[in-house]
Amino acid sequence: MLPLIQRMVVEEKKWLDQEEMVDCISISQSLPGVVAINTATYVGNRKAGLKGAIAASLGVILPSYIVIILAVTLLDVIGVNEYIAGAFTGVKAAVSGLILYSAIKLAKKSLKNLYSWVLFLVTFILVAVFDVSVIAVIVSGILLGILYIYLKRKEDKA
């Protein structure tokens, strides 16, 4: 979705220059929340303040909102037959392959030393095997990251 937003905002509409768009995207990905809405809010705010931010966010939400309601309604009308169930199984098999591919791409970018590998493995085991609260692992990850950078900077200074 981001490449599409980038092309529209920078090249077609010329609302932001390339450099600010790169900042906007990196901040959208760093902050929590829905990345597309983060980007929309930023761009809308830059161009037209609060009203712009609201308009841009609604613009990015509404298609999802409408399509999902239509899809749920449609599935209710058709009912669950064996073809639909089979199609869902096929789609899920493909989707799990695609998500695994995304995870591997992310791992190549984010797992670069022992510390990050350990944090990755511990998180995976805690959530996938022991069903530990995701909120707890996110908060722990943030605190450990701050501690790690703090100690590393202290060491670099010394």
Partner 1 sequence: MSHFAMFYLFFRIGLLGFGGGLAMLPLIFQGVQDFGFMSRQEFSNLVALSQITPGPVAVNAATYVGYNYSGFLGATVATLGVTLPSFILMFFVAKLVMKYYSTTVVSGSLWGIRPVVTALVACAALMVAETSLFNVHFFSMAFFSNLMTSVNIIPVFMFIVSFLLMIKTKINPIFVIILMGVVGAFTC
Residues 85-104 that bind partner 1 (CB under 8 A): 85-103
**Residue 59 near partner 1 by CB under 8 A:** no
- For residues 17 and 23, which CB has a smaller minimum distance to partner 1 in the complex? 23
Is residue 158 a contact residue for partner 1 (CB under 8 A)?
A: no
Please give the Cα distance from 52 to 147 (Å, whole number): 38
In the block, which residue shows the tokens 């098999």? 93
Interface pick for partner 1 out of 23, 51, 55, 78 (rule CB under 8 A): 23
In whole angstroms, give the CA distance from residue 16 to residue 56: 14
Q: Does 77 bind partner 1 (CB under 8 A)?
A: no
Shortest distance (Å) from residue 8 CB to partner 1:
14
Q: How far apart are CA 134 and CA 132, in angstroms?
A: 6
Closest CB 56 distance from partner 1, rounded Å: 10
What residues numbered 125-154 form the site for partner 1, per CB under 8 A?
A: 127-129, 131, 133-135, 137-150, 153
8 makes contact with partner 1 (CB under 8 A): no
Residue 122 C-beta: closest distance to partner 1, Å:
8
- Dist. CA 8–CA 35, nearest whole Å: 16
Options 6, 35, 47, 48; binder of partner 1; rule CB under 8 A: 35
* Residue 111 interacting with partner 1 (CB under 8 A): yes
> CB of 39 within 8 A of CB of 24?
yes
Are residues 9 and 43 in contact, defined by beta-carbon separation less than 8 angstroms?
Answer: yes
Nearest by Cα to 54 from 71, 41, 72: 41
Are the CB atoms for 109 and 120 separated by under 8 Å? no
* Distance in Å, CB of 105 to partner 1, minimum: 9
